[in-house]
Structure 1
Amino acid sequence: MKKINILLICLILASCGPKLPEIAPDVVTEPTRHDTDDPAIWINRENPEESIVFGTDKNTDGAIYAFDLDGKIIESKTLRNLKRPNNVDVEYDVKLADGSVTDIMIFTERELEQIRIFSVPELKPLDNGGFKVFQDTRENEMSLPMGISIYRSPKSEKTYAIVGRKNGPKEGYLHQIELVPSENGFAPKVVREFGLFSGKKEIEAIAVDDELGFIYCADEGHGIRKYYAEPDMGNEELALFGGEYFKDDIEGIAISVYPDGKGQIIVSDQQQGTFNFFSREDNSFEYALNLGTTETDGCEVTTVALGDKFPNGLFVSMNDNDEKNFFYHDLSRLKEPVKTEK
């Protein structure tokens, strides 16, 4: 019996693959109250060192926390008393009804079955209290929004929310919602229902490449799906890739953007405790890194220099719900693969 157990343990360890050296974070944020999930980075273009990292605290008594670049909570910019906020994203220079522009933050509030929109950095609500989503069905958690990302079309200058849910049909798992400027900020207009689903687990992480016009989403037990971001380009799935490189759940997605279409699709391998890097150009696998986080749900990246603190850009990743925090890494530390150790 002991020999069998030892053999089983060896097989399990072998299946996890070689151990990657840990790249310790440059900054660890102060903890949230409940359960961190997903970050977004708002770049202060007038003073990059005063940029803000927003992060969800996923609970019935939840919040959108605001952190400075030292990882300290900015209480004046933190939104509390939210009903299980899940994923969050930001966009810049979005047009309002009066012709002015504002930066916005958008997030899902799962237990109220809605999405919320606030101006940044003022945090003025622009949604008349929230937009209900997925109200066509009341069963199997299909009405509960989870993942969200923003697409601002270079062609039409329209702004869209791409929203996923806790569970959904095999076709039409995602909704694309135009954020139409209105007297109170924005009004929602569903422009398409699209996206395939394996039915294995769920689709939470969504990321949009505004420049190249692609949407990526993580079908957690299956692979990374890719679609056109422009609604009039059709609902055809352009690629399904990466599944063989993950131990189990395929989670947070971040896109590093460099000139000439270069950059990477960075995806959390949740149970492996690592991140897989894929080419932004052809979506081929490049390498994996261990950044010290465990059970990572969400991540985000910017290639913009954020002053002396993060001169090469910033990568933010959620750390497990025991520590309830986010890790910051200067982006220069993630550019090259490291050698693995047995």
Structure 2
Amino acid sequence: MKKLLFLLLSTFIFSCKTQLPISKNAIKPVVITQAVENDTDDPAIWINPDDHSKSLIIGTDKETNGALYAFDLDGKIVKKSIPLKRPNNVDIAYNFNYNNSKIAIAVTTERETNKIRIFSLPDLEPIDQGGISVFEGETDRGPMGLAIYTREDGKFFVIVGRKTGPKDNYLWQYELYSEESRIQAKLVRKFGKYSGKKEIEAIAVDNEMGYIYYSDEGVGVRKYIADPALNNNQELALFGTKGFRADHEGISIYKTGEKSGYILVSNQQANSFIVFNREGSNGNPNNHLPLAEIPVAALESDGSEASSLNFGSKFPKGIFVAMSNGKVFHYYNWVDFEKYLK
């Protein structure tokens, strides 16, 4: 009994040290989803081309008996995928050539099998013949972070991070393509610095600008060229090195124009998001300055996603989706964020 009390007290003290309480000014979500079975981690937005208000949020349930979940914009679970072995991050792409058709796909990492898994949307059915292995030949594999780059010529690339790895070439980039009904992934690039401090989980791609961003937890956000054909593995920027309480986590891009908008990065233990300018400043596209810190009700958010489209009366100027403790995702009305950005 004494051991149990000691463990409970230790857990409480550790929690108090690492997590700040929710700010009184924290923005409240418009919607909180139904809870998943185990532990939410990362969301992505599937945009319904015919009616944006009928779009879906695809989120990971990060556990050995996990899955991908599809939620409607009221937060209700409408579909659950086949069981997955600890799916971590998820991203979505459109117009992928598969079986003589162009479809939307969701790609997620499956950490315990060292694979990426691919699902058609919106039906959330697997189309990958059991998954595609990544980081083959490496001692440390365990894929975690993931993002998709869609190039102007219609080629698709998946950038994958892992639990741990070398201080150089930490990320691997694969070209994703299909031969009729069989999907293939060809390794085309290894790149990216890593501090060795914690891990790299959050990865985001800005397709229009052609950049990759990823969070080196406890250090900052690193920026690289997305197109492997340009043969440029030089780090363009390391920003957000100050102002974070502990971990840098989820990265989202809210677009106000083709090359303007905001980059939002989770200040995880502070229950807030720090906002940077997407286009850079003072004529330097790689000079990303902090513009604001937005407190949210989401607790210790790992993953997030944003869109500036009109999703109906609840989200007329866009939606911001954030993972929160409690096995849920929060949906925020972008209008509530704007007051911090004026």
TM-score normalized by the length of structure 1: 0.89
Work out whether residues 128 and 184 of structure 1, in 8 Å CA contact, stay in contact via their aligned partners in 2.
Answer: no
Q: Which residue of 2 aligns with 1:4?
A: none
TM-score normalized by the length of structure 2: 0.89
Partner-residue secondary structure (3-state), 2:60: strand
Work out whether residues 20 and 289 of structure 1, in 8 Å CA contact, stay in contact via their aligned partners in 2.
Answer: no
**C-alpha distance in structure 2 between counterparts of 1:32 and 1:255, whole Å:** 25
Partner-residue secondary structure (3-state), 1:236: coil
Work out whether residues 217 and 225 of structure 1, in 8 Å CA contact, stay in contact via their aligned partners in 2.
Answer: yes
Give the direction of change, closer, same or farther, for the CA distance of 1:263–1:336 in structure 2 (3 Å limit): same
**C-alpha distance in structure 2 between counterparts of 1:258 and 1:27, whole Å:** 23
Deviates more, 1:157-166 or 1:180-189: 180-189
**Does 1:210 pair with 2:207?**
yes
Work out whether residues 81 and 125 of structure 2, in 8 Å CA contact, stay in contact via their aligned partners in 1.
Answer: no
Q: Which residue of 2 aligns with 1:264?
A: 262
Work out whether residues 97 and 177 of structure 2, in 8 Å CA contact, stay in contact via their aligned partners in 1.
Answer: no
CA offset digits 1:281-340 (Å, max 9, x no partner): 1121000011111111000001111122321111000011xx11011011111123189x
CA offset digits 1:161-185 (Å, max 9, x no partner): 0100000100011011000221324
Q: Which residue of 1 aligns with 2:219?
A: 222
Q: Which residue of 2 aligns with 1:290?
A: 295
Work out whether residues 176 and 186 of structure 2, in 8 Å CA contact, stay in contact via their aligned partners in 1.
Answer: yes
**C-alpha distance in structure 2 between counterparts of 1:124 and 1:62, whole Å:** 15
Work out whether residues 301 and 322 of structure 2, in 8 Å CA contact, stay in contact via their aligned partners in 1.
Answer: yes
Q: Which residue of 1 aligns with 2:273?
A: 275
2:305 to 300, 309, 330: 300
**Does 1:183 pair with 2:180?**
yes
Q: Which runs of 5+ in 1 are unaligned?
A: 1-11
Percent of residue pairs bearing the same amino acid type: 47
2:157 to 123, 147, 160: 160
Give the direction of change, closer, same or farther, for the CA distance of 1:137–1:338 in structure 2 (3 Å limit): closer
| Mapping of residues 46-125 of structure 1, within 5 Å | 46-74=50-78, 77-96=79-98, 98=100, 100-125=101-126
Size of the aligned set, in residue pairs, is 319
Displacement of 1:122 after TM fit?
2.6
Amino acid at match of 2:314: K
Work out whether residues 217 and 253 of structure 1, in 8 Å CA contact, stay in contact via their aligned partners in 2.
Answer: yes
Q: Which residue of 2 aligns with 1:333?
A: 336
Deviates more, 1:257-266 or 1:63-72: 257-266
Displacement of 1:34 after TM fit?
0.8
Work out whether residues 256 and 263 of structure 1, in 8 Å CA contact, stay in contact via their aligned partners in 2.
Answer: yes
Partner-residue secondary structure (3-state), 2:335: helix
Displacement of 1:19 after TM fit?
5.5
Amino acid at match of 2:28: A
**C-alpha distance in structure 1 between counterparts of 2:324 and 2:23, whole Å:** 19
Partner-residue secondary structure (3-state), 1:258: strand
Displacement of 1:157 after TM fit?
1.5
| Mapping of residues 135-146 of structure 1, within 5 Å | 135-138=136-139, 142-146=140-144
**C-alpha distance in structure 1 between counterparts of 2:94 and 2:255, whole Å:** 16
Moved over 6 A (4+): none
Amino acid at match of 1:337: Y
Partner-residue secondary structure (3-state), 1:83: coil
Displacement of 1:20 after TM fit?
6.4
Amino acid at match of 1:120: L
Work out whether residues 32 and 75 of structure 2, in 8 Å CA contact, stay in contact via their aligned partners in 1.
Answer: yes
Partner-residue secondary structure (3-state), 1:333: helix
Give the direction of change, closer, same or farther, for the CA distance of 1:229–1:20 in structure 2 (3 Å limit): farther
